[in-house]
Structure 1
């Protein structure tokens, strides 16, 4: 009996304490995760990596089966494919292959960024973002360490030498940190700025958006130039595929050329800016072509040969026109007139940095040929010059001769005070009250018509009529003074009155 009473007292006390104040326990540690969040992070770490490995295994096995290669070297080939897809240089015998295709790298980074963006919470905290970045890096780092071990074990079967671990892990860290940053910033940019307490100026945001459009436009122009050059050099197709022995070789050369197509487009963009593309001791540019060893692959069919033509420097107008177009857009859409030049400078700087990164990724050592890729120093100088100068020209032109794009048609600019002031709504000659006086063309809405007497009644002071409680007679216009008297309740229970 006593134990039952103790149990009752303990239960009732716990209920009362819970209702009065919740028990204050220690806050969960930063490394503790809810099960649902842990599952999401596990998918971020595993799903892109597993999908990429599956595709690589299928491709390697398909190539080996079609070419009649023994499957004993399949693990080493899969590991080498993973490393090559992350721009990690490979050494086969005494040949170093550092010029690697961009298509697998772009696909892997895009998959990781997409998975990261889907896992960003609505209101992320620094701990959430840290866990998310760690999840993006975890899967590729684990697979890279396994691939390095597999390549080291397969060195006795294949002439493939394992790359340095610093180089391998460095490339993986850089690529997937960029993927995590792209996914997080693309999904929660405002929340990220609020976390770091940084107020990004409007001109910086406009410049970044203009830089993205500028890069895409210049890449599109480079792709168009590549297609035109390919069509003008169709006679080289037969000579290039003459080294193929069967249909498998033709298919392999075509697939490899398609994988290297983004590298060719980046090189073409560098050539349009005026920077030469180096092929070992030789180079190809708008101002001259020097002899060099060029690999006989279909991807290099658009490459110009022979002496430079006199009209080739005219192509320098392409990046200049792209810069002018970006400046015109900034001049028409930016309401921050003093900050528009800074937006133009930001556009030029970010565009040049993007092309520098693309040029580094698309360049490298190619065996006996040597270094292949654009001249990086000239690329930076010329890109900043064309995009920056063209941007300022377009911005000034838009300010002087073009109307604002949206939202600023009724505002004029005061050059002395450097601000926008509200102008007249329109010229008196263009818009007059007579234009809207025709009742037949613009009939009045009967629901909007208001009686004048009703307006006068509304403006007068209202009268209040109060009827006596329980009276059946309607209230009169006279105001009745009523006094409410509350009877004294007898002492006792409030419910019964006793």
Structure 2
């Protein structure tokens, strides 16, 4: 038995003798706007569940804070609306104070919830229409809640000194955040299907550079977090002064919680300082090469910020981003086809890493009342990070190509490449004799098949015939069935003419 005949695929157009063939339903195909009840229920959960969860947590937090501090509950709706907008990085203006520097922890949690819900609802083999419906569902709930919060803050402007933010800024931030959540959720489950929709082929070096950029960003953030922790313990003596405005245990707990919510902002600022860029505090700045005095809020989150004057050894910290870039280049030198004359994956890694930090720096900065604009110097951040990651990556890539053994590129496991086992029928290997003697070639007479009353002895292995059910007076159908002849190992005495 040949290996070709040990696996027979059953096609959707084939049928056997006596089987009833059901014709496909006639009529126009359903349009893109039609949804099955099950799919509509799934999309409704995607739109509602993250929004309801976030709203419930916001209401609970506001009520706990207001009851703890003894605040009148009449302003609770406005506080809930303002908290929802602040969690989505929408700047708020209270009286004459503008608060644009907002914590990133609530934003990250909301985006993660939406991305997880989106990933659960991605079909196995999605179509562009299905992905469009899914993206719309991810955006629908937050946009609706943002519209309600804008209306509430507008009505409360006459009761409390809270100005309603502009609709362009509010809806713009929500669109950007949840489009990113939808993209992350879809890519985590159907990356190969999304790539298939792209009209051009994505180069291998671009994919490898993107993967290396992800690891580079995580390494740099890890180094920044470690530097933040070390600086916190070095300046632990400032702890008493950071809580000097706290009058009781509730104030201490609130300031501690607020500092934890701002911790990602501090880590992003530390990454900027390690690259050589300065962190601006209004008119003041803090960097590796100098500290300019300015007005800084006294909160526990800013304890790790170094004080001046700058020490000469601080410049040694520039080796951190350089080392991160070299490590990424070594990986690309071993897994990609990069060479000194064509370092495309290395340059892609440096560009995407820098772009990621630019986006994080924009998210982690903003206006802070009377202090002014607080955040990393964006121009210096871009110039320095692309330099460290690009130059360091190039050095690491050249070192790996010359002194290290290249390895094969890693390939992601793709569930879409699996065979559909339910469409295949396997014969048991035990039914066949695996005796080596059977490997000798055996000549058989060409079998004969009766077609239209005549014996056909000479025909190819694959013959197209039309088969009708026994006893049927109808003419054979026009459907063609691919018949593959499987020659069984029959004894000589069982061979009869016509078989």
Quickly name the TM-score band, shorter chain normalised.
0.7 to 0.9
Q: How does 1:326-337 map to 2 (within 5 A)?
A: 326-335=328-337
RMSD: 2.6
State the partner residue of 2:448. none
Q: How does 1:340-489 map to 2 (within 5 A)?
A: 341-405=343-407
Displacement of 1:22 in angstroms is: 4.3
Q: How does 1:305-344 map to 2 (within 5 A)?
A: 305-335=307-337, 341-344=343-346
1:364-409 Cα shifts (integer Å, max 9, x gaps):
000000000000000000000000000000000001111224589x
TM-score by length of 1: 0.78
Q: Is the 8 A contact 1:279 1:373 kept in 2?
A: yes
State the partner residue of 1:177. 179
Mapped partners of 2:247, 2:441: distance in 1: 103
1:398-452 Cα shifts (integer Å, max 9, x gaps):
01111224589xxxxxxxxxxxxxxxxxxxxxxxxxxxxxxxxxxxxxxxxxx9x
Displacement of 1:461 in angstroms is: 7.9
Displacement of 1:185 in angstroms is: 1.6
Pair 1:81–1:19, CA change in 2 (3 A): same
1:248-271 Cα shifts (integer Å, max 9, x gaps):
100010000000000000000000
State the partner residue of 1:166. 168
Pair 1:156–1:175, CA change in 2 (3 A): same
Mapped partners of 2:440, 2:260: distance in 1: 80
2:262 equivalent to 1:260: yes
State the partner residue of 2:218. 216
Mapped partners of 1:304, 1:357: distance in 2: 24
Q: Is the 8 A contact 1:80 1:151 kept in 2?
A: yes
State the partner residue of 1:45. 47
Displacement of 1:339 in angstroms is: 9.4
Pair 1:460–1:108, CA change in 2 (3 A): closer
Displacement of 1:201 in angstroms is: 1.1
Pair 1:274–1:462, CA change in 2 (3 A): closer
Would you say how many aligned residue pairs link Structure 1 and Structure 2?
Answer: 409
Mapped partners of 2:191, 2:441: distance in 1: 56
Mapped partners of 1:147, 1:483: distance in 2: 86
Displacement of 1:198 in angstroms is: 3.0
Q: Is the 8 A contact 2:329 2:346 kept in 1?
A: yes
Pair 1:96–1:27, CA change in 2 (3 A): same
Q: Is the 8 A contact 1:203 1:340 kept in 2?
A: no
SS of structure 2 residue aligned to 1:368: helix
Displacement of 1:177 in angstroms is: 0.7
Pair 1:223–1:20, CA change in 2 (3 A): closer
State the partner residue of 2:112. 110
SS of structure 2 residue aligned to 1:88: coil
TM-score by length of 2: 0.78
SS of structure 2 residue aligned to 1:243: coil
State the partner residue of 1:135. 137
State the partner residue of 1:152. 154
The structure, 1 or 2, with the larger RCO (C-alpha pairs under 8 Å, 6+ apart) is 2
Displacement of 1:187 in angstroms is: 1.3
State the partner residue of 2:191. 189
Pair 1:462–1:52, CA change in 2 (3 A): closer
Pair 1:259–1:27, CA change in 2 (3 A): same
State the partner residue of 1:93. 95
Mapped partners of 1:299, 1:288: distance in 2: 21
Q: Is the 8 A contact 1:117 1:183 kept in 2?
A: yes
1:255-296 Cα shifts (integer Å, max 9, x gaps):
000000000000000000000000000000000000100100
State the partner residue of 2:245. 243
Q: Is the 8 A contact 1:334 1:340 kept in 2?
A: no
2:274 equivalent to 1:272: yes
Pair 1:339–1:200, CA change in 2 (3 A): farther
Q: Is the 8 A contact 2:339 2:398 kept in 1?
A: no
In structure 2, runs of 5+ residues without a counterpart are: 1-19, 411-434, 446-491
Displacement of 1:195 in angstroms is: 2.1
Q: Is the 8 A contact 2:322 2:392 kept in 1?
A: yes
State the partner residue of 1:471. none
Mapped partners of 2:497, 2:104: distance in 1: 89
Mapped partners of 2:34, 2:442: distance in 1: 68
Mapped partners of 2:187, 2:341: distance in 1: 23
State the partner residue of 1:82. 84
Pair 1:234–1:461, CA change in 2 (3 A): closer
